[in-house]
Amino acid sequence: MADNSVWVVLEFDEDLNILESTLELVSELFSVMQKAKGKLVALSIENTKKEEISKILGEYGIDEIIYLVKECGGSAYQIACCISEIAKQEHPTAIFAADTVWGHEMAAWVAVKLGVPLFSACVEIDFDATGRVLVFRPLYNGLVDQKIIAEGKVLVATCMPEQFNVKKARWPKVPVTKEFFKSSPLEQEKVRIVRKIKADPKTIDIEDADILVVGGGGMGSFDNFKLIHSVADLLGGSVAGTRVARDKGWIGLDRQIGQTGKKVSPKLLISCGVSGAMQHTIGLKDTKKLVAINIDKNAPIFKLADLAIVGDAPTILKDLISKVEAIKTSQKAQ
């Protein structure tokens, strides 16, 4: 390795703003790199707003920015070809990207081109006393933590979004900027996107759902459980349930949350007639906002809830459906 230089590949949204998940990663790298002497380098595929990008990244402690100019192409594969080309010249210690769809694909190609493994879905980064980079990631549904040490070869890793806080450096830096011009011809695409199809909440994997409406034994009957589907449809959400709901045949195993089901991380979860047994709640720890409806004010699910509603779940869901429908109708009329 030439020096201890750690790279982070920036990802941008459609308005060319740096993604939150990238800034989380940059913040964490800057924080852990305080322990190890080294250079934090950003690779930017966006080069129309260099001044703005440099200023933002300086605030997050980036030492150097390498801008990939237009000839580098735009797809994950083409960008990966360029990054691996630069890496072969400059020998970074590690290359990081956020674990988004694009970041994952790009990092996988970088790893292929450099002949090293990709360590995806990491949740922790550190440096040991000798300055080696360490990454950690959960395996086997969180039962085992894997620790990976960068030694000898470049470490290519992606980190899960929402694991680290976005935090500016105490003293901003003025990053050194470089440009990379591709000398070889642009690589032929390996993958061609024919068209993009929006995921259907009805069939999406519940682990990927942003909104979940969850029914438990307290829904009482298959007919009442249909209200869970109606609310999910109205909110653009997906249906899930407890083991009792599965045992009763209201959901399949693929929609069960918990120890023997799936772990979910929605932005909103509406839990209806669910007791809150530990074997169930273990699967919803990463929920951002939890609304719980239960007839029993002492139900354990309320300990986790951001909003606790004590009452009969089918009645409350019927009310909710008519209120949301009324709002939607008045919005259409405007």
Ligand X SMILES: Cc1cc2nc3c(=O)[nH]c(=O)nc-3n(C[C@H](O)[C@H](O)[C@H](O)COP(=O)(O)OP(=O)(O)OC[C@H]3O[C@@H](n4cnc5c(N)ncnc54)[C@H](O)[C@@H]3O)c2cc1C
Reported as type and span, the H/E element at residue 6 is: strand 5-9
Q: Which is nearer to ligand X, 4 or 256 (CB)?
A: 256
Rule CB under 6 A: choose which of 217, 230, 291, 304 binds ligand X.
Answer: 217
| Residue linked to tokens 């894997």 | 146
Number of residues that bind ligand X (CB under 6 A): 27
Tokens describing residue 5? 């230089």
Rule CB under 6 A: choose which of 218, 228, 290, 292 binds ligand X.
Answer: 218
Rule CB under 6 A: choose which of 58, 92, 175, 273 binds ligand X.
Answer: 273
* Three-state secondary structure call for residue 48: coil
Rule CB under 6 A: choose which of 74, 260, 306, 325 binds ligand X.
Answer: 260
Q: Which is nearer to ligand X, 277 or 324 (CB)?
A: 277
Residues 277-306 touching ligand X, rule: CB under 6 A, are 277, 279-280, 293-296, 299
At its nearest, how many Å lie between ligand X and the CB of residue 243? 3
Residues 62-91 touching ligand X, rule: CB under 6 A, are none
Rule CB under 6 A: choose which of 17, 31, 163, 259 binds ligand X.
Answer: 259
* Distances from the Cα of 245 to the Cα of 264, 269, 291, angstroms: 17, 16, 18
CB 108 within 8 A of CB 223: no
Question: 162 — alpha (psi -120 to 50), left (phi > 0) or beta?
Answer: left
Rule CB under 6 A: choose which of 112, 312, 321, 324 binds ligand X.
Answer: 312
Which one of 60-68, 117-125, 192-200, 212-220 is the stretch in contact with ligand X (CB under 6 A)? 212-220
Separation of alpha carbons 257 and 214, rounded Å: 9
Q: Is 212 a residue that touches ligand X (CB under 6 A)? A: no
Q: Is 209 a residue that touches ligand X (CB under 6 A)? A: no
Residues 6+ apart with CB under 8 A from 238: 201, 202, 204, 206, 209, 211, 212, 213, 232, 255
Question: 23 — alpha (psi -120 to 50), left (phi > 0) or beta?
Answer: alpha
Neighbours of 123 (CB within 10 A): 16
Q: Is 256 a residue that touches ligand X (CB under 6 A)? A: yes
Q: Which is nearer to ligand X, 279 or 322 (CB)?
A: 279
Q: Is 313 a residue that touches ligand X (CB under 6 A)? A: yes
At its nearest, how many Å lie between ligand X and the CB of residue 123? 22
Separation of alpha carbons 175 and 163, rounded Å: 25
Q: Is 92 a residue that touches ligand X (CB under 6 A)? A: no
Which one of 38-46, 55-63, 80-88, 242-250 is the stretch in contact with ligand X (CB under 6 A)? 242-250
Q: Is 274 a residue that touches ligand X (CB under 6 A)? A: yes
What angle is formed at CA 175 by the lines to CA 171 and CA 180, rounded to 5 degrees? 160
Q: List alpha helices for 91-208, DSSP H.
A: 101-114
Q: Is 244 a residue that touches ligand X (CB under 6 A)? A: yes
CB 90 within 8 A of CB 64: no
Contacts to ligand X by CB under 6 A:
216-218, 220, 242-245, 256-261, 273-275, 277, 279-280, 293-296, 299, 312-313
